[in-house]
Structure 1
Amino acid sequence: MLGRKERDQLELFISGSLRQLIPDEHVLVRVDGVLDLSWLRNELADLYCLDNGRPGIDPEVAVRLMLAGFLLGIVHDRRLMREAAVNIAIRWFVGYGLHEPLPDHSSLTRIRQRWGAERFRRIFERSVQACIAARIATGEVVHLDASLIRAHVSWDALAVRHVEAVAEANSDDDALRESRQSGKFKKVCVTDPDATMATNGRNRRLEPAYKQHTAVDDIAGVIVDVEVATGEENEGMAVAERLDAVATTAGRAMTIATMDAGYAYAKVFRALEDRQIEGIVPAKAEPPPGKVIPTRRFKFDALHNLARCPRGKILRPKGKLHRGAFQYFHASARDCGPCPLRARCVSPSRHARVVVFNVNHPSLLRARRKRLQWGKREKRLYQRHRWRVEGVHGEAKTWHGLARAVRRGLDNMRIQAFLTAAAINLKRLAAALLAAIAGFSPEPLAEIRAGAHARPYPA
């Protein structure tokens, strides 16, 4: 018999909690079992008046609303509140009944402005500490990588920075030349000055973007550190600070750090050596020989701060460090004049050879030698790096709205990154709780250090 259902519902009566209407496998139900925000009120007490003014939104409600949006991939406040009005799972997650009016979307904006980015970083750090307490992260074997995030601006908002250069050029041609070299002609974003032009490929055009530096633990893919900078910042500039941040958040020293070839700089290897961290980084190969004797044929003596040419003559440092890391070494004209290699070594316009060495050059040489000695263990660790940290970036951009900035400004971008990372960590923590009930346990850390392939962890 063909069934029939009357759609008219004049009255709606519910006996019990909204939780009874939400399936157990819903992501908000699973995250609610591991989310602890009882500490939040004391953390924010200094931002509110305790005995005067209109009662504000409960801080836990605000954070739960934002986390629900990132967990469900609804990152815009207006759309989130429209969805929360009809979504009983979101209402239950934030503690609102069907009859209660939800906060206005503008309240979330004011809350972000009042709290600041560092308060949201504390929420992220709490999620990391909860994962460490659950033993699904240790902070000892960590994969680091950076990813570009498209800024929330249009192409019409870009302008070429050249007005000051033209004004200077009217009086001095050297000023025009200097301005071209210093980058004053680069495109800038008028509506979001913090976003800078960057690209992740030689064949791709420059776009206004931010750069997110991410550190992912090896065991279960927990994000143990995240920070956002301008798009044009080089990856190597932030490594030392990020290594220290991971150690501070995890509460223990890092033992192994893996990075891709984009981090293969002398200062990165020096930062790893100073912290006694084993670096799994594919050092860039030396350039092929050309017509001119290359710098690599010159021996750098870091102990005495000298350099020696292929004929054994000494080159001495002159001037201050360039950009705090590069030192110029000059040979003597008396040594270069009668040298039989002068035609291949010294430019006709100069009297003697000048070479440039990074002060951390010995660390780079040791890293190159280590790269040639990589075994199965190092290769497997580097393979894990590629799918661990790059997989997290793909997950954040595909499922949690991190492919594009939601709001403008560096602080707003940092808040978005912190909440996205916290949402991913809470998913990992909820999966660990479910796995513990099912009798699953992640593989020991010793196997990871040995380079064994990890079993897939529940998503």
Structure 2
Amino acid sequence: MLGSRVRGQTELLMAGSLRDLIPDDHILARVDRVLDLSWLRGEVRHLYAADGAGRPGIDPEAAVRLMLAGFLLGIVHDRRLMREAQVNIAIRWFAGYGLQEVLPDHSSLTRIRQRWGTDLFRQIFTRTVRACVGARIAKGEVVHIDATLIRAGVAWESLGERHVEAVLAQDAEPESPPTGAGQETISTTRRRAERDGKQTGRYKKVCLTDPEATMATNARNRRLEPTYKQHTAVDDGFGVIRDVEVTTGQANEGDHALPQVDAVAAVTGTAVKVVTADQGYAYGKVYGGLEERGIDPVIPAKKEPIRSRVPLRRFRYDARHDILKCPTRRTLRPTRRVEHGRYFYSRATDCRHCPIRGDCLSKGRVNKAVVVSDHHPALLRARRRKERWSKEDARLYQRHRWRSEGFHGEAKSWHGLARALRRGLQNMRIQAFLTAAAVNLKRLAAALLTLLGPWRSVSLLAALAHLFATVLAAAAPPTRSGLADCPA
């Protein structure tokens, strides 16, 4: 017989919990088993009126669960999230709202983020890292560092031109007309500004609606865009995000590598042994800083750019005596400092009758000037090591490419990180922390689900107690074969 169904229901009668309607393998049901926000109320209590004064606010845990549900499901905009929560039983249950309860307005989530600030959301992310370390799915011995550009949420029409002359008028023009050497300095500054403006666009475009989003690009054949840059440290074992930081798009990766490594070690107290990165981090200061910390850098060194007939590689640096030897064995000694290095100068008398003077010296110079970075020996060791990388080095660098870049692809494709949701550096940091926290919770839920096996239907505390009792009885940590990698 052909079936039929009456669709004009006027009421809903239900016995039981909303949890009974949600599949056990749903992402929110899996994350709920490992998410603990019981500490949150005490952290934000001082931000609200005491003694019950004022209007009743939203439960802090419910607000964070709503935000995390949006990032886990890829519904990252507040308006769309709250519209979806009206009809999505899983989101209502995950946040603790019943079917007939009124959900908060989307603007309440905005005010909560403004009230709490970035430090609290960093703390939420940090606790997910520690939970993964406690579950032994993040060892921290091998860390992959990488950065990615995030397009600012602004229109092309919001970009304006910042002319070179206007910049010079504000920053470099003196109160009285300069003469002599002063006039030469202003001319040099103007030429440098014009050159930088043509090459990088630094003085040509500025975002008027989001000034903290600076112009940058990830390839020479692509146009500059208003962007932010996220710096990420990913654990090698199961892809747990150990640290994230957001800067403007023009920030240099090498300036943030060492502070990020220190932050990774400080969060969990685990010493980092190996750091991998791409050629964007191939600077002497990075190699030297990692070696000083006892960390093995697996970073492919760049080839030395040859801009002269006598390149820097033909000069020999003597670290013991802190001198530089030219190809004809003349000595260059250090003088004034520059950023991340020093100038080494030769004597004019040594260069006067040098046989390679015509190739070595620029027109009009009487002696040779060479800039050597502070960690030049470490850079030379990295270049020699790249020429004879071992199989283990190649394996680690290959894992770096799909661990760090894989996370960025996952976050941009599934969790809304491809574009900034709100304007301003602080809002972008909150978005990065919540995205990383959501990914870590996915990793933790998948790993524990595999570990628990037949205990997955029991409460989490009872299952963890059984798991840890088994581990202690065996007097050995769980083997890696007992864990399954979380799907990307």
TM-score band (shorter)? over 0.9
Aligned residue for 2:423, secondary structure, equals coil
Equivalent residue runs for 1:267-346 within 5 Å: 267-287=285-305, 292-319=309-336, 321-323=337-339, 325-346=340-361
Residue 334 of structure 2 aligns to which amino acid in structure 1? P
Q: Deviations over 1:282-327 (max 9, x none)?
A: 1112346x762111111123333321111211112222x212x121
CA apart distance, 1:330: 1.1
Question: Is the Cα–Cα contact under 8 Å of residues 442 and 486 in structure 2 kept in the other structure?
Answer: no
Report whether the alignment pairs 1:385 with 2:400.
yes
CA apart distance, 1:433: 1.4
Q: Flag structure 1 segments of 5+ consecutive residues without an equivalent.
A: none
> Does the C-alpha gap of structure 1 residues 413 and 309 become closer, same or farther in structure 2, counting only changes over 3 Å?
same
- C-alpha distance in 1 between matches for 2:439 and 2:328: 58
- Identify the residue that residue 58 of structure 1 maps to in structure 2: 59
- Identify the residue that residue 180 of structure 1 maps to in structure 2: 194
Aligned residue for 1:233, secondary structure, equals coil
Question: Is the Cα–Cα contact under 8 Å of residues 165 and 176 in structure 1 kept in the other structure?
Answer: no
- C-alpha distance in 1 between matches for 2:272 and 2:434: 24
Question: Is the Cα–Cα contact under 8 Å of residues 447 and 485 in structure 2 kept in the other structure?
Answer: no
Aligned residue for 1:44, secondary structure, equals helix
What's the Cα RMSD here?
2.4
CA apart distance, 1:446: 13
CA apart distance, 1:438: 3.1
Larger mean CA deviation between 117-126 and 158-167 belongs to: 158-167
> Does the C-alpha gap of structure 1 residues 446 and 381 become closer, same or farther in structure 2, counting only changes over 3 Å?
farther
CA apart distance, 1:61: 0.7
CA apart distance, 1:28: 0.5
- C-alpha distance in 2 between matches for 1:446 and 1:269: 34
Report whether the alignment pairs 1:249 with 2:267.
yes
Residue 430 of structure 2 aligns to which amino acid in structure 1? I
- C-alpha distance in 1 between matches for 2:282 and 2:193: 30
- Identify the residue that residue 119 of structure 1 maps to in structure 2: 120
Report whether the alignment pairs 1:266 with 2:284.
yes
Larger mean CA deviation between 65-74 and 428-437 belongs to: 428-437
Residue 117 of structure 1 aligns to which amino acid in structure 2? T
Q: Give the share of equivalent positions with the same residue, in percent.
A: 61
Larger mean CA deviation between 163-172 and 62-71 belongs to: 163-172
Equivalent residue runs for 1:5-84 within 5 Å: 5-51=5-51, 52-84=53-85
- C-alpha distance in 2 between matches for 1:382 and 1:45: 45
CA apart distance, 1:373: 2.6
- C-alpha distance in 2 between matches for 1:390 and 1:432: 21
Q: Deviations over 1:120-169 (max 9, x none)?
A: 00000000000011111111111111011000001011111126237479
- C-alpha distance in 2 between matches for 1:12 and 1:252: 53
Match of 1:376 among 378, 386, 391: 391
> Does the C-alpha gap of structure 1 residues 327 and 384 become closer, same or farther in structure 2, counting only changes over 3 Å?
same
- Identify the residue that residue 104 of structure 1 maps to in structure 2: 105
> Does the C-alpha gap of structure 1 residues 445 and 346 become closer, same or farther in structure 2, counting only changes over 3 Å?
farther
Question: Is the Cα–Cα contact under 8 Å of residues 144 and 259 in structure 1 kept in the other structure?
Answer: yes
Q: Deviations over 1:78-135 (max 9, x none)?
A: 1111111111111100101111111111111111111111110000000000001111
- Identify the residue that residue 369 of structure 2 maps to in structure 1: 354
Equivalent residue runs for 1:121-140 within 5 Å: 121-140=122-141
- C-alpha distance in 2 between matches for 1:317 and 1:217: 41
CA apart distance, 1:178: 4.9
> Does the C-alpha gap of structure 1 residues 447 and 309 become closer, same or farther in structure 2, counting only changes over 3 Å?
farther
- C-alpha distance in 1 between matches for 2:396 and 2:168: 52
Residue 415 of structure 2 aligns to which amino acid in structure 1? H
Question: Is the Cα–Cα contact under 8 Å of residues 344 and 370 in structure 2 kept in the other structure?
Answer: yes
- C-alpha distance in 2 between matches for 1:350 and 1:419: 56
TM-score, with normalisation over the residues of structure 2? 0.88
Question: Is the Cα–Cα contact under 8 Å of residues 229 and 247 in structure 2 kept in the other structure?
Answer: yes
Q: Deviations over 1:400-446 (max 9, x none)?
A: 000000000000000000000000000011101111123899xx999
Q: Flag structure 2 segments of 5+ consecutive residues without an equivalent.
A: 178-182, 457-466, 468-475
Residue 30 of structure 1 aligns to which amino acid in structure 2? R
> Does the C-alpha gap of structure 1 residues 105 and 294 become closer, same or farther in structure 2, counting only changes over 3 Å?
same
- C-alpha distance in 2 between matches for 1:344 and 1:177: 27
Question: Is the Cα–Cα contact under 8 Å of residues 396 and 420 in structure 1 kept in the other structure?
Answer: yes
Question: Is the Cα–Cα contact under 8 Å of residues 82 and 103 in structure 2 kept in the other structure?
Answer: yes
Q: Deviations over 1:354-408 (max 9, x none)?
A: 1111111111011112222311111111111111111111100000000000000
- C-alpha distance in 1 between matches for 2:146 and 2:230: 8
- C-alpha distance in 1 between matches for 2:87 and 2:353: 87
Question: Is the Cα–Cα contact under 8 Å of residues 435 and 458 in structure 1 kept in the other structure?
Answer: no
Aligned residue for 2:226, secondary structure, equals strand
Aligned residue for 2:86, secondary structure, equals helix
Residue 294 of structure 1 aligns to which amino acid in structure 2? P
Aligned residue for 2:108, secondary structure, equals helix
Aligned residue for 2:422, secondary structure, equals coil
TM-score, with normalisation over the residues of structure 1? 0.93
